[in-house]
Structure formats: C-alpha cells, structure tokens
C-alpha cells in the first residue's frame, strides 16, 4: 500500500498507453456552486440553526440566510463546489499542460453561471457544463467564524444534472474515456447516482482509478444505499474524521478508532480486484490516516489560518495531482498536505499564481 503505482493504463479503444501529463487525464463530476463567503457571528449561526463546522443542504428556512449574507461587509465570491475545487487545485499543482482536469456539472443560464465559466477558464480546467434555464446556478454560503466554516449549499441548477442530456452525449463520453484518474465527491450522490455508476463501471472495466469522498456525515446517513452501490468501484476513498466516524456507525463497524475504520473500509467488497482499495482520512491538524500508516500534516502557526473552507477539497486536489503522474502514496499525501496548507492561509478555495511544491 506504500505505492499507488498504476498497472500500465491503456485506452482500450486505441491500445495506446496514456501519458501521465495528457489533457483530460483527470475527470471530475459534481455540483458547481458559487461560494458566497463572509465572516459571521454566533448569533447568525444560531438564528439559522447552524453548527460552526458542518456542511448541509439548504432548506426553506435558510432562504433568508442567502439574502442576509450577501449584505455582510467583506463578502467574497469564489467558484466552488467540492469536486470542482479539487480539480482546480490539481490543475494548479500541475500547471502544465492546461486542461489536464475535465469537469462536468450543471449550471443556470445566468450571471453566476457566466462567473463559474470564467473562473474555470482562468483555472485552465476543461469545464463542460450542462446549461439549463429552469433553475439558477447553485450557491453555497460559507459562514466563517474564527477557524470554523459552516457551509449551506443551495444546489438549484446543480441538482438538475441529467445523465441522458449530458454524460451520455458522444462528445462528452469521449472526454470521460480519455481520463485515467476519476474523482467524484459524495455530494453528487444526491443529484445523479446513475451518472456516477456509469463512470465507475467504465473505470473498473478498464482498470483505471476511481476516487470518491464521503463528503459529509449526511451522505453516509441519508444516501447510504446509493453510496454502497458505488463503494465496490472505489479505488481511493477520502474523508475526514467526522465523516469516517459517521460512516462506521451507519455501517455497523464496531469501532471508533479512525485507523481501524480505514482498514474496515479497505476490506469492503471490491469490483476490480487488481487494485487494493486505499483509504485516506484527514483529521484537521492531526495526522492523516492512510490505511496502514499515518502521515503528519505540515506544522502551521494557528494565527496564520485565515479560513479552513476548502481545506479538504485542496487536500484531495493536491493528492490527485500526484496520482495523475503516478507518484507513490507518500508523495500524493505530501502534495495534499501542501495544497491544504496553502488554502487555509487564504480566503476561500483560492491560491497564488504558482505552487511551491517540490
């Protein structure tokens, strides 16, 4: 497990080995959201029944929250959505060539949608959005208090992704086939599990690498059936300590030990037996657990932390950047820690022009 070395990945259609650095080598699909980020106080959290550190889907009682947060001073808008963030970070870490990362998701035909398209272009991500006009582009309120962030996602258009209207189109499916590493956050299970399954089966049948994230406790609790349909196809499973604990409880694992939960996840049934499942659980400032070993995170002065929003997405993005170039597990995790360390010292999931990762 010390290495994630690929068995030579070949495209079945052409039988040509895929170069590690080809365009569209990394494929992501998920909920594209415009993050609306602002510092709030405890009264604001209490008013809308929010925990300081959580991710939830917006309900009717949160409608006023979106109207209120945009009136705060120092509101920032950033292209977001977990999977899109990770693909963007992976592209930033790799730098060249542009468009290593492909992203699919659904947006509205509106100003926020145009901002997301522009931000994807600026990040050199090859985004192919399904655009529709029945719902506006999705938003995510990032309510920042100190080192904590409470995320409230109003999926709107992101919820309208349709497999038959986008993923199944020949030109789009060709982009899926071009990739060799795939990443989909668990959040997308609430939108289009059938799209995830189609991609996961393609990956497994062609001995490529499928990565997934537990994403939030509510996914393991309320979308358990769909999650467990996908799990046999998962080669790399990500999550944080809270998500891991919730998943273990829902699955009836008889342990609260994160390292043991990782091993139990590794031993769940697996479709493609040529690849042993790798499980990676982050624990904030504590060591990252990766199935059989732990890796210390980068030390940071707590006062340097500006905003932890996007830290998990950044970790995955850094990890994926090295997975695409066939680095060993240790390097993938080191890159993940580096990217997360950069992101928590900035507002939102944003980054400097170039990485300083060697």
List the pLDDT tens digit at each of the 358 positions of the chain.
333 443 333 333 334 444 456 899 999 999 999 989 899 999 999 999 999 988 899 999 998 999 899 888 788 888 889 999 999 999 999 998 999 999 999 999 998 999 899 989 999 999 999 999 999 999 999 998 887 889 999 999 999 999 999 999 999 999 999 999 999 999 999 999 999 999 999 999 999 999 999 999 999 999 999 999 999 999 999 999 999 999 999 999 999 999 999 999 999 999 999 999 999 999 888 889 998 665 556 666 666 655 556 788 899 999 999 999 999 999 999 999 999 888 777 666 667 678 888 8
- Residue in 126, 226, 235, 313 annotated catalytic: 313
Q: Would you call 356 a catalytic residue per the annotation?
A: no
Query: Cα dist. 163→29, 105, 233, 305 in Å?
Result: 11, 10, 19, 39
Rounded to whole angstroms, the Cα distance separating 356 from 312 reads 19
Tokens (6 digits) for 258: 């994160």
Residue 182: enclosing H or E segment and its boundaries?
Answer: strand 181-185
Rounded to whole angstroms, the Cα distance separating 337 from 6 reads 22
State the helix-helix crossing angle for 311-324 and 329-343, rounded to 10 degrees: 140
Per DSSP, the three-state class of 151 is strand
pTM of the model: 0.85
Q: What is the largest CA-CA distance in the chain?
A: 60
């Amino acid at each position: 497990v010390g290495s994630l070395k690929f068995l030579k990945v070949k495209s079945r259609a052409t039988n040509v080995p895929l170069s590690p650095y080809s365009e569209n080598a990394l494929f992501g699909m998920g909920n594209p959201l415009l993050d609306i980020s602002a510092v709030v106080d405890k009264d604001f959290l209490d008013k809308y029944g929010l925990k300081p550190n959580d991710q939830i889907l917006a309900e009717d009682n949160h409608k006023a929250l979106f109207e209120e947060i945009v009136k705060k001073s120092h509101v920032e808008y950033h292209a977001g959505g977990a999977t899109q963030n990770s693909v963007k970070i992976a592209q930033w870490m790799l730098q060249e060539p542009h468009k290593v990362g492909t992203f699919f998701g659904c947006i509205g035909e509106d100003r926020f949608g145009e901002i997301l398209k522009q931000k994807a272009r600026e990040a050199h991500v090859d985004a192919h959005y399904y655009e529709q006009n029945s719902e506006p582009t999705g938003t995510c309120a990032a309510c920042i208090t100190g080192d904590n962030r409470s995320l409230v996602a109003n999926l709107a258009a992101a919820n309208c992704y349709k497999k038959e209207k986008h993923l199944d189109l020949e030109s789009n499916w060709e982009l899926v086939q071009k990739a060799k590493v795939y990443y989909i956050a668990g959040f997308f299970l609430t939108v289009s599990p059938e799209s995830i399954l189609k991609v996961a089966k393609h990956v497994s049948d062609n001995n490529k690498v499928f990565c997934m994230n537990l994403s939030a406790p509510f996914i393991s609790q309320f979308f358990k059936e769909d999650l467990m349909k996908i799990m046999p196809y998962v080669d790399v499973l990500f999550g944080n300590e809270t998500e891991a604990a919730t998943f273990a409880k829902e699955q009836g694992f008889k342990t609260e030990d994160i390292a043991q939960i990782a091993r139990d996840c590794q031993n769940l049934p697996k479709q493609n037996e040529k690849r042993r499942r790798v499980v990676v659980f982050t624990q904030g400032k504590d060591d990252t657990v990766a199935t059989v070993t732990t890796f210390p995170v980068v030390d940071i002065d707590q006062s340097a932390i500006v905003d932890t929003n996007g830290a998990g997405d950044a970790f995955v993005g850094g990890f994926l950047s090295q997975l695409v170039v066939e680095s060993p597990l240790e390097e993938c995790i080191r890159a993940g820690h580096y990217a997360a360390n950069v992101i928590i010292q900035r507002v939102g999931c944003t980054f400097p022009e170039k990485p300083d990762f060697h």
